[in-house]
Amino acid sequence: MNRRTFLRTAGASGIPLMATPAMAASEKAPAGQLDYRRSIPVAERYDVVVCGGGASGVAAALAAGRSGLKVLLVEAHGQLGGNATSGLVSHWLGGRTGDCERWVVGGIFRSLSKEAAARGSALIPGPTQGAYQPHGWKKGQLAAGIPFDPYGVAVLLDQRIEQAGIDMVLLSEVVDAVVEEGRITHVVVMNKSGLTAIPAAAVIDATGDADVAARTGCPFDKGRDEDGLMTPTSLMFHVDNVDQDALAAYIETHRAPRFREKIAELREAGEWDFPYEIFISVQLHEKGTMMINTIRLVGIDGTDGRSLSEGMVRGRVEVQRLMELMRKHFPGFAQARVKAVAPTLGVRETRRIRGAYRLTVADLSSNRDFADTIGFSSYGWDLPDPRRPSDNPGHGQKREVTPIPYRVMVPQHITNLICPGRSISVERPVLGPLRVMAPCMAMGEAAGQAAQQAVRDDRPFAEVDTTALRRDLAAHDAIVEWE
């Protein structure tokens, strides 16, 4: 079978779409609800279906595939990488210590970082002594990130998936699932071919929004406990032709990496009316090309189609206005040009599953260790206030690295489903260090490795032997212990 095609049906049989509890209409449907029924074709069976081809999904597919499982990877965009490539958040964060001296996430993340750098598609920055470091201005987590060219990384991911013998379908979304006796039997995929049901022994929900978990009845939380509000989204864009020498000189002289004073002056003059007070730019893999991570769109719900559409339109308007101010007032950007604007929003937060365990702020503040730790993050408390996007509430002391227990990925009620990435079971502030891409890859790799036990031993994800899992991850160069 062609590795880019999976929609060959297993036979003439179909599956009635309304068989899934997630789509079943009640007998007393409210006005305006349609009882919609049809039979859809059933594709061939997979051991594992990975829903979402972002950081956690790619790692999950690669880990499951190296175990010899038959894997299908389903991605909504036209390329793999998720927000890193399609969202132009082209900066893998949370995988190294702030001094750039040690890797915190190994395994697939470290391997991809080194290969992208060897190809010239990424940089692995070293320590810096000055106030200005082009990838983050000073010692810290931006400086320790891995900036890259999104196209080059998308090509690398294509090749890795193909080399691993994994089936992949792009421009496709998992829109529902069929559940019988607490197990997913089929996932329902929609693309230009129509609706197709794919039988699966295990399902990895790497959508980042817990889409599959939510549609199969798993309990979840969304946003702040008190009002449901979520941290702002961003529309990322890249610019080139930046005079970074002029930018560096200004930052070094004024000790103003985020232009707070300049923005205050512009606000006083009536030129700056955005709801945020800082300017963030990061050099990518080439000098003069920068990612602008400044726009903060308040009030957008990443699980609501209309809200996302509104955010895209608002974001493009703000890109134009921000570029005008950058060229006019910000040193180094007078001749800058827009290279690319993301075709999708950068969403930081939506649903969080209620899992087998909930990781809390108290766990991190007390330096608690976990016997089922499958990875770490070096990122900090970064979850901007839903109404004041330049405010980033602190939550006390946090250890150098954040441990990630396996149990936070395991949802309630569905036994053959696991949810790596930013939809994990955590107290909301804990999303800050865990929502970024390097720890998401660590979680995805662990979920894909756990699928081996889930499929071959017919074992619920909640009953995976985590001692064996950690041993298997370490054998593949993952970091599961920290000293």
Shared-domain flag, residues 415 and 307:
no
Q: Of 347, 367, 399, which residue constitutes the final position of a domain?
A: 347
Shared-domain flag, residues 121 and 265:
no
**How far, in Å, are 71, 444, 469 from residue 45 at the CA level?**
10, 22, 25
Shared-domain flag, residues 108 and 220:
yes
Shared-domain flag, residues 400 and 437:
yes
∠ CA(46), CA(48), CA(50), 5° rounding?
120
Q: Of 294, 319, 347, which residue constitutes the final position of a domain?
A: 347
Shared-domain flag, residues 78 and 175:
yes
3-state SS, residue 84: helix
Which residue range is the domain that position 221 belongs to? Answer: 40-225+349-483
Q: What is the pLDDT along the chain (483 residues), one digit of tens a residue?
A: 344 444 555 544 566 654 444 444 344 556 788 988 889 999 999 999 999 999 999 999 999 999 999 999 999 999 999 999 999 999 999 999 998 999 999 999 999 999 999 999 999 999 877 667 888 876 678 889 999 999 999 999 999 999 999 999 999 999 999 999 999 999 999 999 999 999 999 999 999 999 999 999 999 999 999 999 999 999 999 999 999 999 999 998 888 889 999 999 999 999 999 999 999 999 999 999 999 999 999 999 999 999 999 999 999 999 999 999 999 999 999 999 999 999 999 999 999 999 999 999 999 989 999 999 999 999 988 999 999 988 888 766 677 899 999 999 999 999 999 999 999 999 999 999 999 999 999 999 999 999 999 999 999 999 999 999 999 999 999 999 998
Please choose, from the candidates 299, 282, 303, 300, the residue with its C-alpha nearest in 3D space to the C-alpha of residue 291. Answer: 282
Shared-domain flag, residues 169 and 243:
no
Shared-domain flag, residues 319 and 388:
no
- Return the structure tokens found at 8: 């060959």
Please choose, from the candidates 74, 52, 65, the residue with its C-alpha nearest in 3D space to the C-alpha of residue 6. Answer: 74
Q: Of 347, 379, 398, which residue constitutes the final position of a domain?
A: 347
82: CB partners within 8 A, 6+ apart: 52, 53, 54, 55, 57, 75, 208
- Return the structure tokens found at 167: 């089936």
Q: What own/partner pairs with CB < 8 Å and gap ≥ 24 does 325-329 have? A: 325/266, 325/271, 325/272, 326/239, 326/279, 326/292, 329/262, 329/266, 329/271
Shared-domain flag, residues 167 and 46:
yes
Position 30 scores a pLDDT of: 65
Here the CATH number for the domain that contains residue 464 is 3.50.50.60
User: Does 23 reside within a domain?
Assistant: no
User: Does 8 reside within a domain?
Assistant: no
User: Does 166 reside within a domain?
Assistant: yes
User: Does 283 reside within a domain?
Assistant: yes
User: Does 9 reside within a domain?
Assistant: no
DSSP calls for 346-410: B----EEE-BS--B-HHHHHTT---TTEEEEE--------SS-TT-----S---SSEEEEGGGG-
Shared-domain flag, residues 196 and 270:
no
User: Does 7 reside within a domain?
Assistant: no
Position 408 scores a pLDDT of: 98
Shared-domain flag, residues 256 and 353:
no
Q: How many domains does the chain have?
A: 2
